[in-house]
């Protein structure tokens, strides 16, 4: 990370930035160096919190229960497997340096940087608290660049399209077990390209209960708003 940080600071200088843009070989060399430095990505601390030691399995059951205690409806397990046939945006600027950014609500996770137009990550999983049954996950595939990251495609997947696991395991070793199938998703906003993911939703409460609870919460907030506005010169939206 120190190498990437130093290079990023240098590229803030106008002379370095102009040189990197003008000299394709320098552009490629700096980019490849930053890619190599960024291959190792910090593990997901939320996942670590439900892993039993270095060799232990992932306790998805406990993670799901914690999500419900925190006011959610369950946990979404996301594992980025690979990408296929990505668009090469900058021929001559070095090999493509793709990475994947996954977002659910306000939380965002990202993979390490790979190389090539059909990269394989087979990455460690991400876990997200799912706040509501109508949640969706946003996936962006990006090409890391020394000046700015380029979009290689995007994807929006509703929770209902994920695999549902109603009995989440307490000792799951994703490296050794092929418990759930992966699926290829066509990327949008680009001529071609796919991203391969494992998306698994572990519900902590029945979907109907979650929807009813959310409806009651909305009605309660509306009633509070009416009480506050009663007799005051305020206008309800």
pLDDT tens by residue, 4-30: 555 555 555 455 555 555 555 655 555
Helices (H), the chain: 2-11, 14-22, 24-37, 45-48, 60-69, 207-229
For 106-123, the pLDDT digits (tens) are 899 999 888 888 999 988
**Facing residues of 164 across strands?**
201
Residue 189's region, left for phi above 0, alpha for psi from -120 to 50, else beta, is left
C-alpha distances out from residue 27 to 23, 107, 161, Å: 6, 32, 41
Please state at what angle helix 2-11 crosses helix 24-37, rounded to 10 degrees.
150
In 3D space, the residue among 120, 121, 151 whose CA is nearest the CA of residue 138 turns out to be: 151
pTM above 0.85, yes or no: no
Tell me the average pLDDT of the chain.
75
Q: Average pLDDT, stretch 174-182?
A: 80
Contact call for residues 52 and 171 (beta carbons, < 8 A): yes
């Amino acid at each position: 990370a120190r190498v990437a940080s130093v290079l990023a600071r240098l590229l803030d200088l106008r002379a370095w930035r102009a040189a990197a843009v003008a000299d394709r070989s320098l552009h490629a060399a700096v980019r490849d160096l930053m890619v190599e430095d960024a291959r190792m990505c910090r593990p997901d601390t939320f996942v670590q919190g439900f892993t039993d030691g270095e060799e232990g399995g992932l306790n998805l059951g406990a993670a799901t229960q914690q999500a419900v205690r925190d006011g959610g409806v369950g946990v979404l397990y996301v594992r980025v497997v690979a990408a296929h046939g990505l668009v090469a945006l900058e021929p001559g600027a070095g090999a493509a340096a793709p990475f994947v950014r996954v977002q659910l609500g306000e939380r965002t996770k990202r993979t390490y940087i790979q190389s090539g137009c059909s990269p394989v990550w087979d990455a460690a999983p991400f876990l997200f608290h799912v706040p509501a049954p109508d949640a969706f996950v946003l996936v962006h595939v990006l090409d890391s660049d020394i000046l700015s990251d380029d979009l290689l495609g995007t994807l929006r997947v509703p929770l209902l399209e994920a695999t549902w696991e109603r009995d989440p395991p307490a000792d799951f070793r994703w490296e050794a077990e092929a418990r759930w199938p992966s699926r290829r998703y066509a990327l949008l906003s680009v001529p071609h390209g796919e991203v391969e993911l494992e998306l698994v939703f572990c519900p902590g409460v029945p979907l109907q209960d979650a929807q009813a609870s959310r409806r009651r919460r909305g009605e309660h907030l509306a009633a509070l708003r009416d009480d506050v506005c009663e007799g005051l010169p305020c206008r309800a939206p």
